[in-house]
């Protein structure tokens, strides 16, 4: 029996348009610099950028590794704490009423304001940076998962009540798995925020990491180094985002189908 497939095209074929766009972008970049004669301190050529990257590869990779470590650790902590908090909130409405408004208030404080405070209290070594990343990733995951725990289909709830399931069974076997699509949606938003937060934390006087290179290159008007950091941090954000997508597709293949069905209903 042939199964109905509702998934996006996957494998190499799916990447071809993106690769073509990238090649065209590189050609346009080189072309623009040559035709408009843009000086290298404003916009280095792709060629110069890759040469520089190759020359400083050891230093760049060392700092990238540090940024990756704080991003991943903070992202992991933020996700776990965010999801657990949403679970506690949905189990106990009093908790939610007591804390949620303040969490929303905290959420509205930009990370560039929080980061110097954390640097002041905890320093700018790895622990401080991890806390900054965790704080910025925590909120989207909390808000999304909370929606997930509440958004159980009425029919499923009705079924559970008819089959005389206890509130505990309803929570662990319906609400908890039902919150996963929302958890992953929150994690995808947070993956990008995590890299931003790590860079900001490193810019608050740290002596290592991509954020540190960024600060130094701004002072020295070292445009090439600035671009190196841009490329690497974008790659890092993409990699973490990809990791979340991979985990979702391999670990919970049913989520894709649920999301597709939802978007078709709209």
Partner 1 sequence: MSNCSGIVISSLDVTFRSENERLEVLKNFSITIQKGEYTVILGPSGCGKSTFLRILAGTLQRVIPTCEVKGNIEIKLCQGDKEYKIGLAPQSYSLVPWRTVLENVLFPKILTTNKITDQDRERATSILEMLGIGCFGKTYPSELSGGIAQRASLARALFTESDLLLLDEPLNAVDLYERERIQSLLRNYTQKKGITTIHVTHDIYEAAFVASRIILMTGRPGKVHSDICLSPINRDLLFRESKTYHALIAQLRATFNSWTDNYIKPEDWGGQ
* List of residues contacting partner 1 (CB under 8 A): 1, 3-6, 153-165, 169-170, 173-174, 177-178, 180, 252-258, 260-261
Planar angle of CA 184, 185, 189, nearest 5 degrees: 110
Rounded to 10 deg, the angle between the 180-202 and 210-219 helix axes is 40
Residue number with CB closer to partner 1 (8 or 37): 8
Dihedral sign computed on CA atoms, order 50, 54, 55, 56: positive
Q: Closer to partner 1 at the Cβ: 120 or 258?
A: 258
- Return d(Cα 258, Cα 266) in angstroms, integer: 13
Based on CB atoms, which residue is closest to partner 1, 6 or 19?
A: 6
- Report d(CA 116, CA 128) in Å as an integer: 10
Task: Tell me whether residue 57 or residue 258 sits nearer to partner 1 (CB atom).
Answer: 258
Instruction: Give which of 145, 146, 174 is closest to 158, Cα–Cα.
Output: 174
Taking the complex as a whole, how short is the minimal distance between the CB of residue 163 and partner 1, in angstroms?
Answer: 5
Minimum distance from residue 145 beta carbon to partner 1 (Å): 15
CB of 151 to partner 1, least distance (A): 12
Tell me how far apart the alpha carbons of residues 255 and 220 are, in angstroms, rounded to a whole number.
Answer: 48
- Closest CB 95 distance from partner 1, rounded Å: 22
Minimum distance from residue 250 beta carbon to partner 1 (Å): 14
Task: HSE, CB side, 13 Å, CA atoms: give it for residue 247.
Answer: 14
Own/partner pairs for 217-223, CB < 8 Å, 24+ apart?
A: 221/41, 223/40, 223/41, 223/42, 223/43, 223/44
Q: Which is nearer to partner 1, 1 or 35 (CB)?
A: 1
Closest contact distance (angstroms) between CB of 253 and partner 1 is 7
Nearer to partner 1 (CB atom), residue 47 or residue 169? 169
């Amino acid at each position: 029996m042939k199964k109905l497939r509702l998934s996006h095209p996957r494998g190499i074929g799916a990447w071809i348009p993106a690769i073509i766009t990238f090649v065209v972008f590189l050609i346009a970049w080189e072309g623009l610099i040559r035709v408009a004669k843009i000086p290298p301190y404003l916009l280095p050529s792709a060629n110069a950028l890759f040469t520089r990257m190759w020359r400083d590869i050891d230093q760049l990779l060392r700092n990238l590794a540090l940024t990756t470590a704080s991003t991943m650790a903070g992202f992991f902590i933020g996700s776990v704490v965010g999801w657990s908090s949403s679970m506690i909130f949905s189990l106990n409405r009093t908790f939610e009423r007591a804390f949620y408004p303040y969490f929303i208030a905290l959420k509205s404080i930009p990370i560039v304001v929080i980061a110097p405070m954390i640097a002041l209290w905890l320093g700018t070594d790895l622990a401080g940076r991890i806390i900054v990343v965790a704080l910025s990733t925590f909120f989207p995951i909390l808000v999304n998962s909370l929606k997930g725990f509440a958004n159980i289909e009425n029919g499923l709830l009705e079924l559970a009540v008819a089959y005389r399931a206890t509130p505990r069974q309803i929570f662990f076997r319906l609400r908890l798995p039902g919150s996963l699509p929302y958890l992953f949606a929150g994690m995808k938003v947070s993956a990008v925020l995590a890299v931003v937060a790590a860079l900001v934390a490193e810019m608050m006087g740290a002596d290592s990491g991509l954020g540190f290179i960024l600060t130094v290159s701004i002072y020295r008007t070292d445009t090439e180094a600035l671009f190196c950091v841009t490329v690497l941090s974008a790659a890092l954000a993409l990699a973490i985002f990809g990791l979340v997508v991979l985990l979702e597709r391999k670990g919970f293949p049913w989520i894709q189908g649920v999301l597709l069905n939802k978007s078709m209903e709209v």
